[in-house]
Amino acid sequence: MDPAAQVRDELLQRLAFFRLEPRLIVELGCGTGAGATALRRRFPRARMIAVDRDYAMTQRARRGQRFWRRFDCVCADGAALPFAARSANLVFCSRVEPCSGAAPALFAEARRVLQPGGLLLFATPGPDEREPGDATAARADMPQLGAALAHAGFVEPVLDRDRHGDREFIFGAAFAGRGDDHAGVRGDESVVPLGSVRTRPRATS
C-alpha cells in the first residue's frame, strides 16, 4: 500500500477516538474518492461531499461511486469552499499541502464551514519530508500547525507524528470553537447554499 493510502487509512481509524454522529461531512483533497467511500460507509446517515481542486479527480471519484454509497463531488479549492458557514460537522483531509503558507488558509476555511464543536481531522507530510525534485523552502512543523489552528478559531488541538514506510507525517485533530469571530460568511459571492454546490470549475476570463 502506498504511503498516501496508509495515511488516509490511519486517519480514518482515528475517528474511533471521537463520538461523532455527523450530518454533513466534507473531505478535502478527495482524489479518486476512496476516503469519501470509507467515510460514507462509516457514517451511512450523513451527507458526504468530496472536494478536490482537480476537476478530473472529482469526475473519477464520481464514476467510482457505488450506488448504495453515493456522495456529492465538488471541484473547489480547500481554501475557498462554496459552502455556507457553519454547515458541516466533520472536515476530513488526509493531505494538507505541506508548505507552511497553505495550512492557515485551509484551517480558516474549515473553521468557517464547521459548526461550533465540529471536528477537523487532517494529516500532512512532516517538515523534513521532500518529494523528488521538490524545491519548497518552508514546511509547516507542529508548533506552526498548532498556532495556525488556534488563530483560525479551533480549540483542543491534538498533534502527533507517525511514520509510514520511510516517511514521517503529522496527524492533527481540533474542534471548531464556539466564538463568533471566525465563522462569518465571506464578502465575495462564492458562498452558496449546500443544496446548490458547484460540481464544475468556475469559468475564468
Q: What is the mean pLDDT of residues 5-15?
A: 94
For the chain, give every domain's residue range. Answer: 3-131+141-196
Q: What is the mean pLDDT of residues 167-187?
A: 74
What's the pLDDT score for residue 125? 87
What's the pLDDT score for residue 195? 42
pTM over 0.75: yes
Closest alpha carbon to 88 in 121, 135, 65:
121
pLDDT tens readout for residues 105-147: 999 999 999 999 999 999 998 876 555 455 554 577 889 999 9
Class of domain 3-131+141-196: alpha beta
pLDDT at 179 over 90: no
pLDDT tens readout for residues 130-140: 554 555 545 77
- How is residue 74 written as a grid cell? 465538488
The mean pLDDT value of the chain amounts to 82
Q: How confident is the model at residue 11 (pLDDT cuts 50, 70, 90)?
A: very high
